[in-house]
Amino acid sequence: MGVTFRSVVIGLILIPLNTLWVVLAELGWYSGFPTCLSLFFNAVFCVFVLVVGNLAVERLRPAWALHGTEILVVYTMICIASGLAGTWSMDRLWVCVIIGWLLKVAVLRYGGVKAYRPAVPFFIGLILGDFMVGAFWNLYGIVMEVQVYRFWF
C-alpha cells in the first residue's frame, strides 16, 4: 500500500499534538525527555493508540482500517517530528539546517541539476569530516582524560 493520502493526513494531525508533548515534557515539565531515548516513547504511545483505534475501526468498517505500511508512515512522521522538536537537535542545529538548505537552493537555482549532482559528494564529505573531527576530539578527551564535550549545561 505504501504512502497514502490518509496516512499523511493522520500523521499531520498527530504531529502538532506530539510536538506539544515533547516540548512540554522537555522544556516545561523538565521530565521524561522523550527524545533522549533511542526509542521515542511518545511516538510509540501515539502509534499504540492509533493501532487500538484501528482495531475498533476494523471491526466496524473493515474497508476504512489502516494497513501496516500506513501505520509505519504515521510512525515515521511522528518520529521525525519528535527528533526535530527535541531540545537535543533543533536547539543546537537550526543554523546548520538553514545554511544547508540555503546552499542547496542556491546550487539548484543557479546551477541546476548539472551543478547539484557533482556537489552532493562534496557536501557529504563536509558532513563526514565534521563527524571525524568530533570523533577525534572525543578520543583525545578519553586518552588525555580531559572533558572536551559537556552536556546538561
Helices in 31-67 by DSSP H: which ranges? 41-60
Three cell numbers, residue 125: 564529505
Do residue 11 and residue 33 come from a single domain?
Answer: yes
Task: Count CB atoms within 10 A of the CB of residue 89.
Answer: 14
Cα dihedral across residues 38, 43, 48, 54: positive or negative: negative
Do residue 83 and residue 103 come from a single domain?
Answer: no
Domain span holding position 42: 5-88
In total, how many domains does the chain have?
Answer: 2
Say what the pLDDT of residue 132 is. 86
Do residue 30 and residue 71 come from a single domain?
Answer: yes
Do residue 76 and residue 130 come from a single domain?
Answer: no
Do residue 74 and residue 102 come from a single domain?
Answer: no
Torsion of CA 128, 147, 36, 32, to 10 degrees: -170
- CA–CA separation, 83 and 92 (whole Å): 12
How does pLDDT run across 105-129, given as a tens digit for each residue? Answer: 999 999 999 999 999 998 888 888 8
How does pLDDT run across 32-84, given as a tens digit for each residue? Answer: 666 666 677 788 888 999 999 999 999 999 999 998 899 999 998 888 888 77
How does pLDDT run across 12-38, given as a tens digit for each residue? Answer: 898 888 888 877 877 766 666 666 666
- CA–CA separation, 134 and 148 (whole Å): 10
Do residue 14 and residue 82 come from a single domain?
Answer: yes
Do residue 67 and residue 100 come from a single domain?
Answer: no
Instruction: Examine the fold and report which residue of 44, 72, 88 is the final residue of a domain before the chain moves on.
Output: 88
> Which CA distances in Å does 5 have to 2, 10, 73, 141, 151?
10, 9, 11, 49, 40
Instruction: Examine the fold and report which residue of 88, 110, 142 is the final residue of a domain before the chain moves on.
Output: 88
Percent of the chain with pLDDT over 70: 84
- CA–CA separation, 62 and 55 (whole Å): 9
Do residue 112 and residue 71 come from a single domain?
Answer: no
Do residue 15 and residue 82 come from a single domain?
Answer: yes
Three cell numbers, residue 67: 494497513
